[in-house]
Amino acid sequence: MKSKVLVTGANGQLGKTIRDLSTNFTKLIDFVFVEKSELDITNSKSLTLFFETNDFDYCINCAAYTNVDLAESETEIAIDINANAVKSLAENCKTYNIILIHISTDYVFDGQSTRPYNEDDPTHPINNYGASKLFGEEHIRKQLDNHFIIRTSWLYSKFNKNFVKTIFNKLKNDEKLTVITSQKGTPTSCVDLSNFITFLIINRVSNFGTYHFSAEGETTWYGLALHIAQLLDKTSNVSPIKDYPSKAKRPLYSVLSTKKVEQVTKKPLNHWKVSVDEVIKSLS
Ligand SMILES: NC(=O)c1ccc[n+]([C@@H]2O[C@H](COP(=O)([O-])OP(=O)(O)OC[C@H]3O[C@@H](n4cnc5c(N)ncnc54)[C@H](OP(=O)(O)O)[C@@H]3O)[C@@H](O)[C@H]2O)c1
């Protein structure tokens, strides 16, 4: 039987990627995509009405407040979207027996680790965005057993605004760039993440809980920019700088251990360079 799957926040880069790939799964999944203008997840009345009048097996929550720096001043808005609305989503999923697939972040960690973070490592966000996302996770765990919380890192895609596209466009215009070396993490393609999400649905994985999903390997923002520059033959345009001042603190090390994901999929993950190359090819 086909799974009926709701995707909230469908106009974000992850939502758009899932929509883009959805044609590969038409025999297995009926997707319903809703943007913020169609379903504002902070409006608990319309949320409940929406779930009352529709019938879903899964909800993939791609809706989020994602501006890390602005979340330092717009804290209440970030908490409203990333935590309070997520609580309402989880409550509705429980009432209507829907499996919630929620996306969270490496920024729930403080970056003091010297090895990749496991799913059960202690969390300690160092900015308001990370704190708001952690509150969201905690609400889900309290409300709903049937959930997947997928923490991911440094997302990019051919859609919307993201680091990979920004660097690509600037290098295409032959701009000179200085990029920071202080933070280490793993760039993750929305395509790879979308394929993992659909894998969970198609294979009816029932090992619910928290998963860390990223590509294989690690780098710095400078390393990522340099790799894009190599693809465009523009390495002399990119120079390293230790750090830039920013409103929000960011973890210096936020590499996620993906062992649990690999145990489920029984497949190695793409190296981050392989997935970056694919997106750059699609932009070229
Ligand atoms: N981007 C990253 O590097 C990164 C890293 C780790 C984890 N994540 C997580 O991955 C998920 C997907 O991120 P993304 O990069 O795809 O984010 P995104 O591009 O910023 O998309 C988020 C979407 O949510 C929508 N939205 C905001 N408030 C909403 C509301 N009240 N109701 C319904 N929709 C609402 C936004 O609409 P508007 O644009 O109209 O406001 C936007 O379309 C998020 O949970 C994020 O926290 C992202």
Q: Which of 182, 179, 159, 154 is nearest to 167 (CA)?
A: 179
- Range 92-96 average pLDDT: 98
Residue 233, domain member (yes or no):
no
- Residue 245 domain flag: no
Number of domains the chain is built from: 1
* pLDDT tens figures, 51-65: 999 999 999 999 999
> What is the reported pLDDT for 174?
98
Distance between Cα 237 and ligand 1 center (Å):
31
Model confidence at 147, pLDDT cuts 50, 70, 90, reads: very high
Looking at residue 243, its pLDDT comes to: 95
Q: What's the pLDDT band for 284 if we cut at 50, 70, 90?
A: confident
Residue bearing the CA closest to ligand 1, atom 32: 40
Evaluate whether residue 247 is within a structural domain.
no
| 109 in any annotated domain | yes
Q: Please indicate whether residue 254, judged by its CB atom, sits closer than 6 Å to ligand 1.
A: no
As a whole number, the mean pLDDT across the chain is 98
Domain range for 210 is 3-162+187-216+255-270
Which pLDDT does position 38 carry in this prediction?
97
Residue 79 domain-assigned (yes or no): yes
Pocket test for ligand 1, best of 38, 62, 192 (most atoms within 8 A of CB): 62
Residues 177-183, mean pLDDT to the nearest whole number: 98
In a domain, residue 238? The reply is no
Residue 172 lies in a domain: no
DSSP state of 73: T
CA dihedral 41, 45, 48, 49 (to 10 degrees): -110
pLDDT at 1: 86
* Percent above pLDDT 90 for the chain: 99
Rounded to 5 degrees, φ, ψ at 152 are -135, 180
pLDDT at 226 over 90: yes
Mutate to test the pocket of ligand 1, among 6, 21, 36, 60 (most ligand atoms within 8 A of CB): 36
In a domain, 155, yes or no: yes
Average pLDDT for 249-274: 98
- Do the beta carbons of residue 32 and residue 230 sit within 8 Å? no
Check which CATH number belongs to the domain holding 157 and give it: 3.40.50.720
Mean pLDDT across the stretch 44-54? 96
Q: Which amino acid is at 212?
A: H
Using DSSP, state whether 110 is helix, strand or coil: coil
CA distances from 248 to 67, 129, 221 (A): 10, 9, 16
Residues whose CB falls within 8 Å of the CB of residue 93, separated by 6 or more in sequence, listed in order: 51, 59, 99, 100, 143, 144, 146, 147
Q: Which of these, 212, 231, 223, lies nearest to 279 by C-alpha position? A: 231
pLDDT of residue 259: 98
Q: Does residue 241 carry a pLDDT above 90?
A: yes
